Chains A and B, each alone.
Chain A
Amino acid sequence: MTLIRLTAVTKSFPPASATSAPVTAVDDVSLEVAAGSICGIIGYSGAGKSTVLRLINALETPTSGSVEIDGRDITRLRERELRALRSDIGMIFQQFNLFDSRTVAGNVAYPLEIARRPRAEITARVAEMLAFVGLSDKAKNYPEQLSGGQKQRVGIARALATNPRILLADEATSALDPDTTGEVLALLKRVNSELGVTILVITHEMDVIRTLADRVVVMEDGRIIEQGEVFDVLSGARHAATRRFVASIIEDVPAGPQLTTLRDRHPGRIVTFTVRDGDVTQADVFASLSAHGVRFELIHGGINDIRGRVFGHLTLALTGEPDAVQRAIDAATQIAPLIEEDSRG
């Protein structure tokens, strides 16, 4: 079931000065997020992903197009109705945005106070949420006494206090170190699996997408350039920007100076093949090469687990009789397409 649906959404901001053109932050974007899923939007700064997120909880209104939450077009709602809607959508931020004047418990209580819940219910719910994020002992502390990871966990507890169906995560781990990032991502996974909250994350880190998301949307210059299942997009990236993101976590086919270095270090012919889920087994490729009496060495690449499926590039240096090497390459190509780099790189 589709919970969030954007149809042909465009958002332009007025020009900064009288002479400049208006800025189109989001350009004809259509996307759907299924209830209970985790969707990731990846893109560089200025790609429009933050604006997309803010269109969903109506902190921004689209210039054209429609934004539907659970089948209801929210672009037609009035301010009062929007406040009720926002109560049903949690949001967390890169800089956490906690209220410095309130304790940890006070921060988590804030959305409940806004929603006018009875005091006893607020107390109980705050305790429950702090237990969920593992910060029960910090209830009376102030934000400045917490580490970055703890602050984000308070942010998550605050975002989920009103029991929303949707959680929007705006670069939620970008200000954290790798260990803490792992903790927060694991917590977000629990939010999704244990509480059934639909999560939309925006990030510029492919690792976040690989760890967390079911589906990924790649944005550039306000447009969606690619979207699909995470494995499909990562293993079959078509667009240059997508490939750059993929290359940040998965060793690509070597090129440029990297290839020159490999060539200097390893004699013989350098070939790369792609291992993609069940398509190709390495054993078959290696057996075929061995059968032709060719020696090979793994010099670059790796195998990656993407949501339980296998993908990667393996680069080999082949040495032996030139004719035998050629025969070996021809035979192996029958099993897996071998990409051979031009000797000049």
Chain B
Amino acid sequence: MVKNRNVKERPLESFDDAERKLRQIFVRLVEDLKASKPPVLRIPLRTASNTVFDKKRGIITLGERVGERKFNDISGVRSFMQTCMLARAIYEALKNNDHPTIRDLYYYTLHTIEGTEIETFNDQDESNSIFQDIEVMTGLLREQMGIVAESRGAMVGNIILESKGNRIDCTKFGIGAFNIPSLCDQIRILDVNADYVLVVEKDAIFQRLNDYEFWRKNHCILITGKGQADRATRRMVKRLNEEWGLPVYVLTDADPFGWYIYSTYRAGSISLSYESFRLACPEAKFLGMTMTDIEKYEIPRDHLIKANEIDIKRAKELLVKDPVTKLPRYPWFYESKKWRQEINMFLERKVKAEIEAKSSKGFRFLSDVYLPEKISNKDWIT
């Protein structure tokens, strides 16, 4: 049994803080206005060029560059209005202890401005982008503001949670699993009894492993993000790693897309770089399936898939250096000898493989042979 190594009784995040913080920014804005200063919202840039790799923490973070959104600038006035409008909506929700989705917020604020034909938002993408601006501007994450998003992560294993006063034992879902909710920090982890966390890319593999009760047999917690992981899933992985000191292993297909998913768990993504510090888990290890596994486990040639152009482009990208800064874009790939070997092997052979390809060795090969062997041999890439 692993002990909570940080804060055992971690207090749930309070929304009062968010309410105060959000309001404070606009109070200052109005004070500026009263002093006849043109109102400016300072928003850290969420662009790729303002995304940097924090070597010390091993994660992607936002750079220091900040954009100014001015009211009295014709190109900025609309987004200035949208920012104020969305902030007001969030503020109202916080005050009323509502937890709307970002789609709710979009519809809540969407209207045609009186006397014109101008709509406040053209589409939800516009609203979502402004929402992210508010997140980086206030330093408050969506979850901290109680805004719900779609979540699809699932978890199963020997772990006991508490939510709204209910104890949830994650061993008792049968062939089902615990759906990781969007506001994952509103859940208290009471107890964990596992040796590691196995993150599975594909939901189907997750279901099969759950069906075999792989987690019980191997003393682990099974999590899936169902493809590219959402924030809540990544947050849960991070919490298990950070609060309970569990090692994290990631199982994906043997292709660049799988690597990319691993990369997101490990270091964060560019689009959510501002949130990496609470989502990325630098200790996560890539368990498989690796290119070397293909040979090692003798996957038949006809079970391999020919890599398409997008795969190759993506693989090359993982080793590319930024033309301006001359730094590798994905240092955790670039600076790892093993990873370079993997990627180059892929680029050489131009084939990829799905996890299911292992079923050529029998339906239980994955759960009974491959995974236990890989873990006990420490056959992973970091």
Do they bind each other? Answer: no
What is the interface of chain A, defined by CB distance below 8 A to chain B? none
Q: Which residues of B contact A (CB under 8 A)?
A: none
